[in-house]
Amino acid sequence: MSAPPLLRAWRVGKSFGTHRALEDVTLEVARGEVVCLIGPSGSGKTTFLRCVNQLERYDAGGLWIGGELLGFREAGGRLHPLPEREIARQRRSTGMVFQRFNLFPHMTALENVIEGPIRALRRPRAEAVAEARRLLDRVGLFNRQDYYPAALSGGQQQRVAIARALAMRPELMLFDEPTSALDPELVGEVLGAMRDLARSGSTMLVVTHELGFAREVGNRIVFMDAGRVVESGPSQALLTSPQEERTRNFLSAVLG
Ligand SMILES: Nc1ncnc2c1ncn2[C@@H]1O[C@H](COP(=O)(O)OP(=O)(O)OP(=O)(O)O)[C@@H](O)[C@H]1O
C-alpha cells in the first residue's frame, strides 16, 4: 500500500464575494515531493496556498495535512470552524515563504529566525540560536546573521525568510512566487537555496513562474486556470507534451 499523502486537497472551493477564485481543486502532495503550481495571473494559485496555510478559509471540499482536516472539526454530522488557537496550531505544520519577504525590519537576520521558535514553540533561546545559525549557514548567510533586513539584498532577505520558515520545522513548505519580486540577478541564489532544500527531502508546494526550476526540481507540475486544475503530471511530461489546449497556450505564451 502506498503512503498516504502529506497534503490532500479534495474539491476545494473558495469565493471572494461573487467571484469564484477556486473551484473543485483536487490535488495531493506526497512526503518528500516537490509540486509546482503554475498558471496565468488570477488563476487561484496564491489563493490555494493561502487556504492551505489558513490565511483564507475554503468554503467547499476539504484540505488535510497528515490526515488532519484543516480549519474545521466534525460534530453531529456537521463541520464547525475551529477556534483560532487550533488554527494556529495547524498552521505550524506549514511554513510559508511570500513573494515579499516580510521580515521584521527592526530585527537582525538571526533574530528574525529565532523569533518563532522562542515565542510560538517555547524553545530555549540557546537552542533556537544554534538552530538558526545552522539554518542561516544552510542558505549561505552565516556571515550575515547580525545584519538588519535593510542592509541585505532582496535575495539575501528571501533566504532569511526561508531559514525563518524552516526554523519552525514545518512538514510542508509553501512558496508563493518567491523570486518574482527580485532583480533578475538575484533569482538564482534563491532558487539554489530551494533546490538544496528539495534535495534534502523537504516536501514543497511552490507557486512559480520559473519553468526551468519546475522542470529541474519539481517532481510534478499542476497547471491551474480560472480557479481550476486543468492538468497535472510529471514535470518533464507536462512541459514537453501537455494534453490540454489551455496548458499548451499558456506554455507557448510563457516560453515565447
Ligand atoms: N482578498 C481577495 N478579495 C477579492 N478577490 C480576491 C482576493 N484574493 C484574490 N482574489 C481574486 O481571486 C482570483 C485569484 O487570485 P490569486 O491571487 O489566487 O491568483 P494567482 O493565480 O495567484 O495570480 P498571480 O499569478 O497574479 O499571483 C483573482 O481574480 C483575484 O483577483
Q: Is the minimum distance from the CB of 16 to ligand 1 under 6 angstroms?
A: yes
| pTM score above 0.90 | yes
**44 Cα–ligand 1 center, Å:** 6
Atom 12 of ligand 1, residue of closest alpha carbon: 21
Inside any domain, residue 134 = yes
Inside any domain, residue 162 = yes
Distance CA 192, CA 239 (A): 21
Distance CA 29, CA 172 (A): 9
Q: What is the mean pLDDT of the chain?
A: 95
Q: Among residues of the chain, what percentage have pLDDT more than 70? A: 99
Choice from 14, 18, 20, 47 to test ligand 1 binding pocket (greatest atom count within 8 A of CB): 47
Q: Is the minimum distance from the CB of 208 to ligand 1 under 6 angstroms?
A: no
Structural domain total, the chain: 1
Q: Is the dihedral of CA 66, 41, 44, 166 positive or negative?
A: positive
Inside any domain, residue 163 = yes
**42 Cα–ligand 1 center, Å:** 5
**55 Cα–ligand 1 center, Å:** 13
Inside any domain, residue 8 = no
Residue 250: pLDDT band (50, 70, 90) is: very high
Q: Is the minimum distance from the CB of 41 to ligand 1 under 6 angstroms?
A: yes
Q: Are 56 and 44 in contact (CB under 8 A)?
A: no
**154 Cα–ligand 1 center, Å:** 24
Give all strands of the β-sheet with 220-225 in edge-to-edge order.
94-97, 172-176, 203-207, 34-38, 220-225, 228-234
**99 Cα–ligand 1 center, Å:** 14
Average pLDDT over residues 157-172: 96
Residue for grid cell 488532519: 68
- In this structure, the strands spanning 78-81 and 72-75 are antiparallel
CA 10 to each of CA 28, 56, 64, 94, 127: distance values in angstroms, whole numbers, following the listed order: 8, 16, 9, 18, 39
List pLDDT tens digits, range 191-248. 999 999 999 999 999 999 999 999 999 999 999 999 999 999 999 999 999 999 999 9
3-state secondary structure the chain: CCCCCCEEEEEEEEEECCEEEEEEEEEEECCCCEEEEECCCCCCHHHHHHHHCCCCCCCEEEEEECCEECCEEEECCEEEECCHHHHHHHHCCEEEECCCCCCCCCCCHHHHHHHHHHHCCCCCHHHHHHHHHHHHHHCCCHHHCCCCHHHCCHHHHHHHHHHHHHHCCCCEEEEECCCCCCCHHHHHHHHHHHHHHHHCCCEEEEECCCHHHHHHCCCEEEEEECCEEEEEEEHHHHHHCCCCHHHHHHHHHHHC
ipTM of this predicted complex? Answer: 0.94
Inside any domain, residue 28 = no
Question: In which domain, by residue range, is 161 found?
Answer: 102-167
Q: Is the dihedral of CA 129, 135, 138, 140 positive or negative?
A: negative
Q: Is the minimum distance from the CB of 178 to ligand 1 under 6 angstroms?
A: no
Q: Is the minimum distance from the CB of 180 to ligand 1 under 6 angstroms?
A: no
Inside any domain, residue 15 = no
Residue 48 has pLDDT above 60, yes or no: yes
Inside any domain, residue 146 = yes
Inside any domain, residue 256 = no
Q: Is the dihedral of CA 178, 184, 188, 189 positive or negative?
A: negative
Atom 7 of ligand 1, residue of closest alpha carbon: 16
